[in-house]
Amino acid sequence: MRVAFVETFGGIDGLQTGEVPAPVPAAGQALVRVHGAGVGPWDVGMLSGGFPELPLPFVPGQEVAGIVEAVGEGVDFKPGTRVYGTLFPTGGGLAEQAIADAARLAPMPEAVDFVDAAGLVIAAGTAHEGLVDRGHLKPGQTVLVTAASGGVGTAAVQIAAALGARVLGVASAANHDFVRSLGADEMFDYHDTDWAQQVREAAPGGVDLLMDCAGGQTRDAAITAVRDGGRASFIVIQDAAPRLERGITGDSFAARVDRARLEALTRLIDAGSLKPNTAEVVQFDDVRKALAQVAGGHTRGKIVVRITR
């Protein structure tokens, strides 16, 4: 089978393609014929050595969609089942076949194809955990989503709107209409020096929850728009820890996407409340290009690699 891999951790430039034997699933695992594989900043970080304990050679790709080909003992999926799920952190998705923990797979929603399903796994899974499990977002509350036009941000806007929240988004002006179309009630441009003050004027007293997908100065400015005693969810980004005062609670996290999370996403997709936001589909031979685009940032939505020949 074809794979994209690195033999040493040193960045995207070391990525190469080749042929290796197909893996065999052990107990609790499924062998998936990969049709679509999402790429994200986590893949770039891993290739750069962010997880040095991972074995080499290393195949990146943490989110996949495809068809079950074989299963190990104790797995309730049958060959032929269309599934989507995560391989984090061991990777292996940028390959024609991948081994997945069956507990982190779920049947694919009927309304999306393999490419779109792969792009939803980590982005939407992260947004769901940040809003629901960690943010405890309730109907009628106000949430501020930074980097609202990105992969996690677009999912967060849709999920928050589906929960009945008032959604305020932060993105460049060129993306405002797009994010509004996903369910944002009001938009703010992070290029404006006073954008956080604009948020405070739109939400007197402050927002109930911050879903930060940006980090850096945008994150720090957004915290000032959270009400006293409010909450914040921060995607893990290589920044200094956020400074929280005024009784604001929150933490940084990397989502753990399991079957229950995926099934929750499926219900939202089936209800028409969560739609994929695939920015670009890249062929397997151009996988390095896909990772370079992600590394450059400012991508609207998700980049997904089509694995099938």
Same domain, 244 and 133: yes
Q: 46 φ, ψ to 5°?
A: -65, -45
Same domain, 97 and 72: yes
Same domain, 134 and 104: no
Same domain, 14 and 107: yes
Please provide the size of the chain in residues.
Answer: 309
What are the pLDDT tens digits along the chain (309 aa)? Answer: 999 999 999 999 999 999 999 999 999 999 999 999 999 888 998 998 888 888 999 999 999 999 999 999 999 999 999 999 999 889 999 999 999 999 999 999 999 999 999 999 999 999 999 999 999 999 999 999 999 998 899 999 999 999 999 999 999 999 999 999 999 999 999 999 999 999 999 999 999 999 999 999 999 999 999 999 999 999 987 677 888 999 999 989 988 899 999 999 999 999 999 999 888 999 999 999 889 988 887 677 789 999 976
Consecutive H or E run containing 142:
strand 142-145
Q: Looking at the 3D structure of the chain, how many domains does it have?
A: 2
The answer to whether 62 touches 36, Cβ cutoff 8 Å, is: no
Q: Is 72 exposed, middle or buried (0-12, 13-18, 19+ CB in 10 A)?
A: middle
Same domain, 191 and 154: yes
Dihedral of CA 155/175/293/82: which sign?
positive
What per-residue confidence (pLDDT) applies to 309? Answer: 62
What per-residue confidence (pLDDT) applies to 295? Answer: 85
The answer to whether 89 touches 53, Cβ cutoff 8 Å, is: no
Tokens for 163, please give them. Answer: 């929960």
What per-residue confidence (pLDDT) applies to 298? Answer: 65
Domain of residue 176, CATH code: 3.40.50.720
Q: 129 φ, ψ to 5°?
A: -65, -45
Domain that holds residue 214: 122-253
Q: Is 203 within a domain?
A: yes
Ramachandran class of 42: left when φ > 0, alpha when ψ lies in -120 to 50, beta otherwise: alpha
Same domain, 180 and 161: yes
Same domain, 92 and 164: no
Same domain, 63 and 177: no
Round to whole Å and give the CA distance between 157 and 182.
7
Ramachandran class of 183: left when φ > 0, alpha when ψ lies in -120 to 50, beta otherwise: left
Domain of residue 71, CATH code: 3.90.180.10
Q: Is 264 within a domain?
A: no
Same domain, 134 and 231: yes
